[in-house]
Amino acid sequence: MALRTTTTERQRRLGAELRKLREQAGLTVSDGGASIGMGRVHLTHVERGHTAISTDRLRALCGTYGCTSSTYIDALVSLSEAKGKGWWSSYKGRLSPASLDLAELEASADELRSYESLFIPGLFQTEAYARSIFQASDTVTTPEAVETAVRFRIQRQSVVTRENPPAIHAVLHEAALHVRFGGTEVMRKQLLHLVALADLPNVTIQVLPFTSAAVSAINTPFCLLTSHTGALETVQMDHPAQAVYLHTPDATSRYRRQFELLRSTALPPVDASLTPAKHESRDSLGLVQYVLYTL
C-alpha cells in the first residue's frame, strides 16, 4: 500500500493513540507488529499516520496492548474507517490543511468548549464580521481568498444547528465585545446575533469581564473538542505560523481545568428570556447590552 504524502489530523491522531497504547503496554514496534502479522516498518508508518490499518488488525492490536474499553476501541475504529470526506473537501487546495482538519473535527464533535480573548468565536460570527477580519489579515491577501475564507467559515457554522448538534459552551473576554471589526454597524449586528444564538438549547455563552484579574494569565484562545461519546478529546489553538492540536492526557486535562476556571469566573450565561427586573446582579447579557448601548 502506497504511503500517504500528506496526513490529516484524524490520521495522525489514530497513529498517536496506537503508539500511546503500545508504549503503555511496554512493547516495542516489532512486538506490536508481530502480534498481528505486520512488520516493524509497516506499524511505524501506521503510528505516524502514513498508512491505514484494517479494522480486524486494529481491534487485535488493541487486545495485544491490553485495552479493554469498548467505547475507546470503537472510537479508534471510527477514526480508522472514516473517509475524511465532507462539505470541507471542496476547499482542498484553496485553504490550509489545518482549516479542513478543524472542520472535520467539528463535524464529529459531541461537545465544544472554547475561550476567545479578542474575537467573537468563528462559529458565532456574522458574514460581515468574518469578512472584516479576513480583510485585515496579512495571510489572506486577495479579494477572492477573502471570499473563500468567509464562505468556509459560514459553512462551518452548520454544526451549530444541525440535527443532534454538539453542546457548545463559549467564554468570551469582554475585550472581544469592544474590538470593532467592520465598524459600529457590523459590530452591533454581530452582538445581536450573539444574543440570538445564546437562545439555542445547545449553546451557552458567557462573558469574562475586564475585572476578572484572577484569570489574566490565561491569554491564549483555545477550543477543547470532545468526540466519540467522550472517548477522545482534542485541544485546538490558532497561532500565526500554524494551528496546534494537542491530545495528550496532560494537555487535555490542563485545558479542561483552565476552561472550568474561566467558566466559573465569567459572568452568568447570556439568557434573553430573563426580564430586566430579574437582572439583580451582573450577567453576560447585561454586559453585552451595555456595550450595544455604547456603540
As a whole number, mean pLDDT of residues 164-181 equals 95
pTM of the model: 0.92
Across 87-91, 137-141, 224-228, 273-277, least confident range: 273-277
295: confidence class by pLDDT, cuts 50, 70, 90:
confident
216: confidence class by pLDDT, cuts 50, 70, 90:
low
Same domain, 36 and 171: no
Same domain, 104 and 64: no
Predicted local distance difference test score (pLDDT) of residue 273: 76
2: confidence class by pLDDT, cuts 50, 70, 90:
confident
Predicted local distance difference test score (pLDDT) of residue 254: 94
C-beta separation of 81 from 145 below 8 A: no
Same domain, 285 and 251: yes
> Closest Cα partner for 10 from 185, 245, 222, 220?
245
Predicted local distance difference test score (pLDDT) of residue 1: 62
pLDDT at 218 over 90: no
C-alpha cell at 125: 460570527
Across 51-55, 258-262, 263-267, 282-286, least confident range: 282-286
In terms of residue numbers, what domain contains 182? 87-294
- Give domain status of residue 4, yes or no: no
Same domain, 95 and 134: yes
- Give domain status of residue 2, yes or no: no
- Give domain status of residue 27, yes or no: yes
pLDDT at 241 over 80: no
Alpha carbon distance 100, 102 (integer Å): 5
276: confidence class by pLDDT, cuts 50, 70, 90:
low
Same domain, 154 and 36: no
Same domain, 74 and 152: no
pLDDT at 281 over 70: no
Per-residue pLDDT of 37-82, as tens digits, reads 999 999 999 999 999 999 999 999 999 999 999 999 999 999 999 9
Predicted local distance difference test score (pLDDT) of residue 217: 63
Predicted local distance difference test score (pLDDT) of residue 214: 64
Query: Given the DSSP bridges, would you call strands 222-227 and 232-237 parallel, antiparallel or unpaired?
Result: antiparallel
- Give domain status of residue 1, yes or no: no
Alpha carbon distance 118, 175 (integer Å): 6
* Number of structural domains the chain divides into: 2
Same domain, 73 and 105: no
pLDDT at 274 over 70: no
Alpha carbon distance 128, 189 (integer Å): 9
Predicted local distance difference test score (pLDDT) of residue 242: 74
Predicted local distance difference test score (pLDDT) of residue 172: 96
List, edge to edge, every strand of the sheet that includes 109-116. Answer: 203-208, 167-173, 109-116, 222-227, 232-237, 244-246
